Amino acid sequence: MKNPLKKNVLFFRSHQNILWDIVVCGALLLVVSGIGSLFYRLHLDGATIILLYLLGVMVVSILTTARLTGVLFSIASVLIYNYLFTIPRFTFHAYGRDHLATFMIMLAASVLAGSLAVRLKNNAKAFRQDAYSAKVLFNTSQQLSKAKGPDQAYSCMARQLQDLFGCGVIVYPIQDDQIQETITAGTISQKMLEKEQMHEVQKVLKKGGYAGIVAGRQASYAPVHLEKEVLAVVGLEKVLENIDEFEENIFLSILGECAMTLENQRVIKERQEARIEAENERLRADLLRMISHDLRTPLTSIYGNATNLLHQEEQMDPAVKNQVYQDIYDDSRWLIELVENLLAITRLDQKQVDLHRSQDVVEDVIEEALKHVEGHTQGHKIVFERKDDFSLAYMDSRLIMQVVVNLINNAIKYTPSGSTITIQTESKDSVAYVTIMDDGPGIPDEQKERVFEMFYTGTGKLTDTKRSLGLGLALCKSVIEAHHGELILEDNQPHGAKFTFSLPQSKEEAENENLGHRR
């Protein structure tokens, strides 16, 4: 059944073109003949007037749409030249064979000139179309390259198609042979979601075919596919004008660009998942390896000391016995601290920690942290300096206290006995800053980028002398970032390491999520 709307559109466009060609031909014949009459009165050579009509043929061939127009203009030019400029004038009679030869050559030259002009026009049109096609596809490719996922890619494609055809566009994403939530651009009627249209979408999905875009039809559908896999079905609602082969090629090219983008996104996602899986496997292997090594030493020490107490307590010197008790206490305390760090950093990484934040005094939290490390400073001097009377911060005090304890313990562990550890607090621009620095040997530049990694101990190898799974600084960074703050490492002057973290002073500042370091 023929579509009457399509027939009317084509009829109107074809008659509009014919009318334009007639107007251009008539106008140019009048102009050229008028100029020719002027040349005739100025007694210019007849060849000049013939060249004028040849020029008119070329202009007509360029300005009109049909090839036949140039031929008709050529015939009309010969007849008018004969009528106006050959003797006897104002008749179609011509004396002598010379005139007949002139007319034949003039007609042949006119047709040839018109053909050359048409070819030049078509070449120029093809060049413009190629340039336009390249521009559209380049813009599409640029926008698709910024898409973060399939939905954004489909939205970008739909907007480009809407701009190209000026109609509503609907995209039916396909996953596991099922139609997902649709994505639209422009105005889409409810009919596009009715059973009849969904049946058309299913036909395209199953067959993967493309029947072309038909003007006036309720919807025209095409698949976005990679080889035999249909990724989506695109519907154009009521395209009013019949599109040509050039526009259809652009349409199919845009679908192809979208398919390539989706494939690239899929490949990138698979690589990322593979890389994450490999990293997780490496972390699990490192964790098991380090736990088996690092836990064995304190557990063996506890077991050995407990065995000695069990069987030789009465024979032990009191000083030795107290040292054994102290060793058991230290090893047990270290194991508890390790397990707490492991559980805390696991919960933070999995977003399972509910921060119980309130506006508290930073100095009070640090004082509490100092009580936890009191008696375990191993000969280090700890100095607490307050640049302000007090500093407020919107924080989970329990977790921030653990951060301070971990940073102090880290400084104790990696600096020689007798070193000074300084803690400073200050407030600036609605942000509270806490700095913990030491005057030890410092941290080499090549290690600075890795100190916040899990399981990194700074030695690059396992040792029996240092108990550390490299979790302390990783935990500190996770806690501070969960508070929307930042933890940075710098060199202390003249030597040593300096850790500074920032905390928001209010709930509003915490919602900013990008405190950074403003000092």
Q: Which tens digit of pLDDT belongs to each residue from 255-265?
A: 888 999 999 99
Q: Are 440 and 484 found together in one domain?
A: yes
Report the sign of the C-alpha dihedral through residues 56, 61, 62, 66, in that order. Answer: positive
Q: Is there a contact between 239 and 6 (Cβ–Cβ < 8 Å)? A: no
Q: Are 406 and 502 found together in one domain?
A: yes
- Conformation bin of residue 217: beta by default, left when phi > 0, alpha when psi is -120 to 50: beta
CATH code of the domain covering residue 160: 3.30.450.40
Sequence-ordered alpha helix ranges (H) in 179-317: 195-207, 245-294, 296-312
Would you state the pLDDT for residue 421? Answer: 95
**Residue 190 placed within a domain:** yes
Would you state the pLDDT for residue 7? Answer: 41
How far apart CA 311 and CA 324 sit, in angstroms, is: 13
> Which of 93, 113, 136 is where one domain is finished?
136
How far apart CA 345 and CA 291 sit, in angstroms, is: 15
Residue with tokens 């007319």: 103
Q: Are 127 and 168 found together in one domain?
A: no
Instruction: Provide the pLDDT confidence category of residue 517 given band limits of 50, 70 and 90.
Output: very low
How far apart CA 80 and CA 78 sit, in angstroms, is: 6
CATH code of the domain covering residue 429: 3.30.565.10
> Which of 347, 379, 409 is where one domain is finished?
347
**Residue 278 placed within a domain:** no
Give, for 8, the enclosing helix (H) or strand (E): helix 4-41
Three-state DSSP class for residue 295:
coil
Q: Which tens digit of pLDDT belongs to each residue from 86-139?
A: 777 777 776 666 667 766 777 777 677 767 777 887 788 777 867 877 787 888
Number of domains in the chain: 4
Would you state the pLDDT for residue 306? Answer: 92
The region of weakest confidence among 161-170, 216-225, 264-273, 333-342 is 333-342
**pLDDT above 70 as % of the chain:** 82
How far apart CA 114 and CA 142 sit, in angstroms, is: 41
Q: Are 301 and 339 found together in one domain?
A: yes
Greater confidence (351 vs 85) lies with: 85
Would you state the pLDDT for residue 12? Answer: 38
> Which of 347, 380, 414 is where one domain is finished?
347
Q: Which tens digit of pLDDT belongs to each residue from 475-512?
A: 788 889 888 899 999 999 999 999 999 999 988 887 76
Q: Is there a contact between 410 and 473 (Cβ–Cβ < 8 Å)? A: yes
**Residue 107 placed within a domain:** yes
**pLDDT above 90 as % of the chain:** 16
How far apart CA 263 and CA 513 sit, in angstroms, is: 34
Three-state DSSP class for residue 388:
coil
pTM: 0.48
Mean pLDDT value across residues 51-56: 82
168-175 and 229-237 strand pairing: antiparallel
The single-letter code of the amino acid at 7 is K
**Residue 519 placed within a domain:** no
How far apart CA 495 and CA 415 sit, in angstroms, is: 11
Q: Are 173 and 81 found together in one domain?
A: no
Instruction: Provide the pLDDT confidence category of residue 292 given band limits of 50, 70 and 90.
Output: low
Mean pLDDT value across residues 21-38: 85
Q: Are 157 and 74 found together in one domain?
A: no
Phi, psi of 425 (to 5 degrees): -130, 145
How would DSSP label each residue in 95-146?
A: -SHHHHHHHHHHHHHHHHHHHHHHHHHHHHHHHHHHHHHHHHHHHHHHHHHT
Would you state the pLDDT for residue 519? Answer: 53
User: What is the crossing angle of helices 245-294 and 97-145, to 10°?
Assistant: 20
Q: Is there a contact between 515 and 505 (Cβ–Cβ < 8 Å)? A: no
Q: Are 363 and 504 found together in one domain?
A: yes
Cα–Cα distances (Å) from 437 to 291, 408, 449, in that order, read: 29, 9, 18
Name the most confidently modeled range: 384-393, 468-477, 495-504.
Answer: 495-504
- Helix (H), strand (E) counts: the chain: 14, 12
**Residue 285 placed within a domain:** no
Q: Is there a contact between 510 and 357 (Cβ–Cβ < 8 Å)? A: yes
Q: Which tens digit of pLDDT belongs to each residue from 135-180?
A: 878 888 888 888 888 999 999 999 888 887 778 888 989 888 888 8
Q: Are 360 and 484 found together in one domain?
A: yes
Question: For residue 410, what are the contacts with CB-CB under 8 A and spacing of at least 6?
Answer: 472, 473, 499
Greater confidence (353 vs 244) lies with: 244
**Residue 274 placed within a domain:** no
How far apart CA 6 and CA 4 sit, in angstroms, is: 5
The region of weakest confidence among 136-140, 150-154, 286-290, 378-382 is 286-290
Greater confidence (9 vs 480) lies with: 480
Mean pLDDT of the chain: 80
Examine the pLDDT at 202 and tell me if it is beyond 60: yes
Examine the pLDDT at 341 and tell me if it is beyond 80: no
Instruction: Provide the pLDDT confidence category of residue 5 given band limits of 50, 70 and 90.
Output: very low
Q: Are 333 and 419 found together in one domain?
A: no
Range of the domain at 367: 354-510
The region of weakest confidence among 177-191, 403-417, 465-479 is 465-479
**Residue 281 placed within a domain:** no
Q: Are 154 and 258 found together in one domain?
A: yes
**Residue 235 placed within a domain:** yes
Q: Are 338 and 391 found together in one domain?
A: no
Q: Are 376 and 479 found together in one domain?
A: yes
Quick one: three-class SS letters along 296-349?
HHHHHHHHHHHHHHHHHCCCCCHHHHHHHHHHHHHHHHHHHHHHHHHHHHHHHH
